[in-house]
Amino acid sequence: IAPPFPLGRSTHASEASACPEPGAAPYGNFPNYSRFHPAEDRVRLLPRGLLRSLFPGPERPLLGLDVGCNSGELSVALYRHLLGLQESQGSLDESAAGKDLNLLCCDIDPVLIERAQQCSPFPASISFAKLDIMDCSARDSCLSSYLRRFGRSTFDIGFCMSVTMWIHLNHGDRGLLEFLAFLSSMCTYLLMEPQPWKCYRAAARRLRRLGRSDFEHFRALAINGDMVERITHILTKDCAMELVCCFGSTAWDRSLLLFKAGVSPIPNQWDSRVLVWLWSMHQSRLGFPG
């Protein structure tokens, strides 16, 4: 039986037969997503040295969870950026890189996961799994199996990049709340890129233009409007997380937000140093362009 997060490359059915029609992917599983939302536009907003600042201690490897990874381009770009690897550095540096960070990346689309497995330059330290994150039984089995390999019960950092809208549209307000509660319980830090409300309307319009049924929950969503504000409120008030920093917005008007689990009324000395460092990096734009 194949593991839920294969480390090697696989060959299955052809991509062409399974790719969703452009503009009509019901879960955001667009076959060429990275072409219109390039990974570089996200990672350039993140300061260099972020991982070392968040986790200054010697404990390694750090574990990351990337939810809704599509075909893996952004996952690999985040991995390179967080470890300070150049584009030319690939599998030859994998053993050393894997001592610092291991990523589990999941997506609902098996064809995109297959593509990610085939193209990944770090197959031993970035694992890709076909997973519906809203299927409680499947996610518990997949994630706990991965974490047991490292003797861990949670991830150090999670990534949720332009995923919240698809969870929200397909599972409603209750589903979004459950999803955010789950992520906050599984990750010490959480890097979020929520889609703004205008993207919800655009997604619904695309389906209607193509003659598809509307998203089941769209017209009944009570959580709406300023989605950055709404998601921040849910994570900080309901999930006991702290908003550490906003790294700015991408060219398509999506904010990158960093949250930390375990709010304390008075930040400790280490938390204060991180906040000061992040703010100074944000102000000076050292290490990443504006």
pLDDT in tens, 230-277: 999 999 999 999 999 999 999 888 999 999 998 543 343 334 444 444
CB 9 within 8 A of CB 117: yes
pLDDT tens digits for range 110-141: 999 999 999 999 999 999 999 999 999 999 99
d(Cα 233, Cα 221) in Å, to the nearest integer? Answer: 16
d(Cα 41, Cα 289) in Å, to the nearest integer? Answer: 10
pLDDT score for 16: 33
Q: Which two structure tokens, joined as six digits, stand for 16?
A: 């062409």
pLDDT score for 46: 95
Annotate 176-230 with three-state secondary structure: HHHHHHHHHHHEEEEEEECCCHHHHHHHHHHHHHCCCCCCCCHHHCCCCCCHHHH
pLDDT tens digits for range 200-220: 999 999 888 888 888 999 999
Query: To 10 degrees, what angle do helices 164-186 and 197-209 make?
Result: 140
CB 94 within 8 A of CB 102: no
Q: Average pLDDT, stretch 162-175?
A: 97
In a 10 Å sphere around its CB, with 0-12 CB exposed, 13-18 middle and 19+ buried, how is residue 190 labelled? buried
pLDDT band at 15 (very low <50, low <70, confident <90, very high): very low
pLDDT score for 285: 40
Q: Which residue has the higher pLDDT, 89 or 71?
A: 71
d(Cα 118, Cα 288) in Å, to the nearest integer? Answer: 30
Strand 255-261 with 241-249, pairing:
antiparallel
pLDDT band at 24 (very low <50, low <70, confident <90, very high): low
Q: What is the DSSP letter of 236?
A: I
Supply the pTM of this predicted model. Answer: 0.81
CB 28 within 8 A of CB 165: yes
Residue 222, pLDDT > 50, answer yes
Q: What is the DSSP letter of 235?
A: I
Q: Which residue has the higher pLDDT, 130 or 35?
A: 130
HSE-CB for 36 with a 13 A CA cutoff: 9
Place of tokens 């375990």: 262
pLDDT tens digits for range 100-117: 999 999 999 999 999 999
Residue 184, pLDDT > 70, answer yes
CB 82 within 8 A of CB 45: no
pLDDT score for 263: 55
pLDDT score for 35: 67
Place of tokens 């950026």: 81
Most confident of 30-39, 97-106, 177-186, 277-286: 177-186
Q: Which residue has the higher pLDDT, 97 or 218?
A: 218
Q: Average pLDDT, stretch 45-55?
A: 92
pLDDT score for 59: 73
d(Cα 189, Cα 242) in Å, to the nearest integer? Answer: 9
pLDDT band at 289 (very low <50, low <70, confident <90, very high): very low
